[in-house]
Every structure is written in C-alpha cells, then in structure tokens.
C-alpha cells in the first residue's frame, strides 16, 4: 500500500535509518493526501478549505484568549456554528435560501456565509469598527477573508476572536428579539 513491498519480499530493509526516514515521509505524505481529499470532499467546509492549507496546530489555541473567544473562533473556523450557511445545510435548504436573518430583517437578501458574517454583515459594522478601527478592511473580498483567516499574526488573531465572540453574542440577542 505504501510502496515498500520489496521489503517484505527481500525480508531486508537495507540501511535501516534511511528506511525508517523514507517510511515516515511516505506515511506523512499519504496522511496529508487523505486529509486534503477529505477536506475537498466535505460538503460543509467551503470556506475552511480555502484558508486552511497546512495541517498544523492553529495559533489561536496557543494565545492568551478567553475560553469563550477560543470557542467562538474554533466554531467559526470549523463550521460548527449556527450561521444559516450551516444551519440551512442541516435543514436541507438550497444554498440560495440560507439568508442572513439580520440582513433579511432590513430587507437585504444575502446568504449568511462565514465571509458575510466576518466582512459584510451590516449588523456587525459597529463591532468591526470597535475591534479593528475605522480603516479595518481596505478591500472586502474573499482574498481579504482568506488572508485574515490564515494569518499567523497574534494581534490580528486576537482581534478576530474578540470580534467573533461579540458578533455571535449580538446575533443571538437580535435573533431572540426577531
């Protein structure tokens, strides 16, 4: 399966150090290929697969963030949140029908994706300004979203976690009122 059938046939590995190194490398490569394939085949990880390109621990896990901030960013990144893009998937709604309830209440019809929630949603504008400052995003596009979500900058990651925690709290309160 891993291309080392000759070892079984010859009952010898030759240079054992070189063999162990080659076997480890092959196992890692096959695991990464399988991980990438699973991510590619997933029906839920649309945004995640765009910015998560390396199999490595996330930096936010190592930062001095509150439990609730880590939980918010983890749920956001892994699509275990209650945004309509994910909730609608569970309900069997067509993607085009997974509208942002907060924007929809203001007569704006837009699909509530992770991108929308972080970058566009008008309900969160004040939170964005509070967390990021007045000139927080020069461009509101998918490239900016992917750059932000794949950032290793501790200060930016802390701001993302703070924003997501506040925005999810506001969303829950607003939806309770609606």
Look at residue 8 in the predicted model and tell me its pLDDT. 80
Question: pLDDT: is 81 or 59 the higher one?
Answer: 81
Condensed to tens digits (0 to 9), the pLDDT of residues 79-92 reads: 889 999 999 988 99
Q: Of 113, 61, 67, 64, which Cα lies nearest the Cα of 86? A: 113
Return the domain boundaries, the chain. Answer: 5-41, 49-177
Q: What is the pTM of this model?
A: 0.73
DSSP reduced 3-state for 130: helix
Please tell me what DSSP assigns to residue 120: I
Distances (CA, A) of 63 to 2, 159, 160, 163: 38, 12, 12, 15
State the average pLDDT over residues 145-167.
91
Question: pLDDT: is 51 or 173 the higher one?
Answer: 173
Look at residue 169 in the predicted model and tell me its pLDDT. 94
């Amino acid at each position: 399966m891993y291309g080392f059938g000759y070892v079984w046939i010859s009952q010898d590995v030759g240079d054992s150090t070189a063999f162990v190194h080659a076997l480890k490398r092959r196992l890692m490569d096959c695991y990464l290929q399988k991980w990438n394939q699973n991510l590619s085949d997933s029906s839920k990880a649309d945004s995640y697969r765009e910015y998560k390109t390396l199999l490595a621990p996330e930096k936010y896990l190592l930062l001095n963030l509150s439990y609730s901030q880590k939980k918010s960013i983890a749920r956001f990144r892994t699509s275990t949140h209650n945004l309509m893009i994910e909730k609608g998937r569970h309900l069997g709604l067509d993607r085009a029908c997974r509208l942002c309830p907060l924007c929809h209440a203001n007569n704006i019809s837009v699909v509530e994706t992770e991108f929308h929630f972080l970058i566009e949603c008008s309900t969160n504008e004040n939170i964005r300004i509070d967390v990021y400052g007045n000139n927080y995003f020069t461009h509101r596009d998918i490239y900016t979203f992917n750059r932000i979500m794949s950032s290793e900058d501790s200060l930016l990651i802390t701001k993302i976690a703070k924003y997501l925690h506040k925005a999810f709290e506001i969303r829950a309160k607003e939806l309770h009122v609606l």
